[in-house]
Structure 1
């Protein structure tokens, strides 16, 4: 059985909306603005994660975002991501934008559950806020890796939405990334 790992860059107050500033959100662009001198350390963290993954799982918008960039950007991290098999959960998408991608068009809970049963390693999820929320609601997330940026935006879409019940987690690792970022790793706690 595979392990679904949600890996997100988030602000201190949990906002994940428009980190690049391309989405028109009034507080967008926080990723580069608050990265500071930590690019190298962040890049090492992301590369190690990509090299340890068996596959990527994402929603349609994340496929579009990375698919467009994969054709114009380069580097060891992107090369590692490009080599991985990708699974895009979408009821409307016919042709994924990113290379080596398969569309999972059926019931999302069933499709993600089947994928987790079929694969053996880490299935990493970047972005994909609606997908992450659905997987959290249905206890399909095994691990959360949050890289926390030193800013409070006070508004914006957060990684987690409402759930029908509590979702207990257990902190298993913390790490300072560079001088200003915190990397927190949580696993799903079966018992509160």
Structure 2
């Protein structure tokens, strides 16, 4: 069985929208695109490279797929050490609007994304990674299909924008399996689901 992991850049107030550039995602009139840029450093890049090296496949929503497909085919290992691996990896794209995928080794998932990802988990081995792809992530979280969260939290507040853990997220406890900081002030935390939260009375 494959493991599904989610890697995300997030602000301190939980916004994951358009970290990479002003025009990455302007949905809802979002004006803060590119907020990640001041915090990109060697520590962050090292963690991202570590994550990509463990992938045996990618799970992507339409928007993230289109961003990746427009960029990575033009990049080589001489530019970024993991580019060749990303271009070669199997890529599973959840979309009801795309008619075809042109990035090498991409497969379009046109049916129910939750059902298709559940079937991929059963059929495949290794690690299927989600990057970006907020709508897909929300659907898979709601059905308990994410096995590990790799969150890079940066010291910036935006107040508006799409959030990874939006209102209506199912209550869940998480175990911390790794934690580190970056030189630019980012906090990297790796979590695994640990069942339902426990409740009690503080001080009793």
Q: Deviations over 1:138-165 (max 9, x none)?
A: 1111110001111111111111223363
Pick from 141, 145, 165: which aligns with 2:146? 141
Q: Deviations over 1:109-162 (max 9, x none)?
A: 110100111121111100000000001111111110001111111111111223
Q: Deviations over 1:27-78 (max 9, x none)?
A: 111011x31xx42221111111111111100111111000001133342132
In 1, are the aligned partners of 2:41 and 2:182 still within 8 Å (CA)?
A: no
Name which of structure 1's ranges 5-14 and 177-186 shifts more when overlaid on structure 2: 177-186
CA drift of 1:185 comes to: 0.5
In 2, are the aligned partners of 1:5 and 1:145 still within 8 Å (CA)?
A: yes
Name which of structure 1's ranges 145-154 and 157-166 shifts more when overlaid on structure 2: 157-166
In 2, are the aligned partners of 1:59 and 1:89 still within 8 Å (CA)?
A: yes
Structure 1 residue runs of 5 or longer lacking an equivalent are none
CA drift of 1:97 comes to: 4.1
What is the TM-score normalised by the length of structure 1?
0.91
Q: Does 1:76 align with 2:53?
A: no
How many residue pairs are counted as aligned between the two chains?
Answer: 189
RMSD: 1.6
Partner of 1:110: helix, strand, or coil? helix
Partner of 2:168: helix, strand, or coil? coil
What is the TM-score normalised by the length of structure 2?
0.86
In 2, are the aligned partners of 1:43 and 1:77 still within 8 Å (CA)?
A: no
Q: Which has the larger radius of gyration?
A: 2
Structure 2 residue runs of 5 or longer lacking an equivalent are 198-204
